Amino acid sequence: MRATWDIFCRVVDNYGDIGVTWRLARQLVAEHGLAVRLWVDDLTAFVRLCPQADAQLLSQMQQGVVVCVWSADWQAVEPADVVIEAFACELPAAYIAAMARREQKVLWLNLEYLSAEEWVEGCHGLPSMQSNGLSKFFFFPGFTAGSGGLLRERELLTQRRAFQADGRTRDDFLCSLGVEPLAGAKLISLFAYENAALSGWLEVLAAGPQRFQLLVPEGRILSSLQSWLGSPLLQAGDTYLRGQLHIRVLPFMRQEQYDRLLWSCNFNVVRGEDSFIRAQWAGRPLLWHIYEQVDDAHLEKLEAFLARYKEGLSADAQVALVGLWHAWNTNGPIGESWQQLLESWPEQAEHAEDWCLQRASQADLAEALVQFYLNWL
């Protein structure tokens, strides 16, 4: 009988948590033949990623995954063979008690947030004994062979390369979003949190000699874009022209569509964790808007990633990359760093593809989780 897996997810304030767990659940079913239940406390957020889902159902099958409402009024269920507590979301007490009573032992995993910090390897896979006799293991996604790897479907890079090699397929996809590619223009996707640094960057894009198309899916960055445009509420389908900058607001899209948007663009601005990983698999230069934490703890994580990512770049290219990422994440002046990045563009583009291929040589997150379970048995 195939192993059963339960994944628990609390939607915090964005789509990162549900985005990661939904991708993971689908991959465990599609590529490893597992029986997976995804417990979500906010189906409204889930429906944004899976429009065919019904936010009113307590339980439903979507793409092979049983999606269940995780309500405050918990109803007893039989625990799965493997239980993933995503991002320290704290399982229901009654479920933990049922895990402890289960005759066949349960593998309890705390799937942590992604980090490039050096201590991750030392903590990955470590157990934590609980007062009820259960052990909870800490599972850290990461960028090195000693970590839990990154979410990556088996055929993802093959699909991406085929898409990027076929200009007509790309143009047809963009046209499906209402975007007509402009001759000679660089395409930029922008999916970020509110950012005061945006206005300075847009001024540079609009005033330069190069034509740019800025594609902006619906999200929190729209309020910053509205301020710069001096426009009323922005919505999908809106277009604006400022000098050399052509702006198009796109609808919120399914994950598969968003992947293709990243593949279509020359440069991708992303946020959080899910879109950050997907931009790396796109093999194109990127800019990460990291989720802000108290006491600037997020900046340590930013530095840890930059320390790894910039390896192999020339000194000038490193200065451009680090300067741009720092300015974007600290609301600093961004124009000079952007110009430096453009000057090193061929090198930045080659490096992005090389980084992607290096990470893809490691086991992906789903594969690593399954192997951890098999080793634990």
pLDDT in tens, 306-315: 999 999 999 9
pLDDT in tens, 138-156: 999 999 999 999 999 999 9
Confidence band, pLDDT 50/70/90 cuts, at residue 294: confident
Q: What's the CATH number for 156-360?
A: 3.40.50.2000
Average pLDDT rounded to a whole number, residues 166-190: 96
Average pLDDT rounded to a whole number, residues 25-52: 96
Residue 321 confidence (pLDDT) above 80: yes
Quote the pLDDT of residue 14: 67
Active-site amino acid positions:
17, 273
| Cβ proximity of 115 and 301 under 8 Å | yes
- Does the pTM surpass 0.85? The reply is yes
Average pLDDT rounded to a whole number, residues 95-122: 95
DSSP conformation class of 292: P
* pLDDT, mean over the chain: 95
| Cβ proximity of 298 and 373 under 8 Å | no
Confidence band, pLDDT 50/70/90 cuts, at residue 1: low
Q: Tell me the helices (H) and strands (E) count for the chain, helix number first.
A: 15, 14
CB proximity list for 72: less than 8 A, separation 6 or greater: none
Token pair listed for 101: 């009573």
Percent of the chain with pLDDT over 70: 99
Question: Residue 270 is which amino acid?
Answer: V
pLDDT in tens, 184-204: 999 999 999 999 999 999 999
Q: Which CATH class is domain 4-150+363-376?
A: alpha beta
Question: Residue 306 is which amino acid?
Answer: L
Q: In residues, how long is the chain?
A: 377
Separation of alpha carbons 181 and 185, rounded Å: 8
Quote the pLDDT of residue 204: 96
Cβ–Cβ contacts within 10 Å for residue 374, how many? 9
Separation of alpha carbons 85 and 91, rounded Å: 7
Comparing 10-14, 51-55, 299-303, 325-329, the range with the smallest average pLDDT is 10-14
| Cβ proximity of 279 and 190 under 8 Å | no
**Which residue in the block uniquely carries the two structure tokens 């005033």?**
207
CB proximity list for 218: less than 8 A, separation 6 or greater: 235, 236, 249, 250, 251, 252
Separation of alpha carbons 117 and 133, rounded Å: 31
Q: Where in the chain is the domain with CATH 3.40.50.2000?
A: 156-360
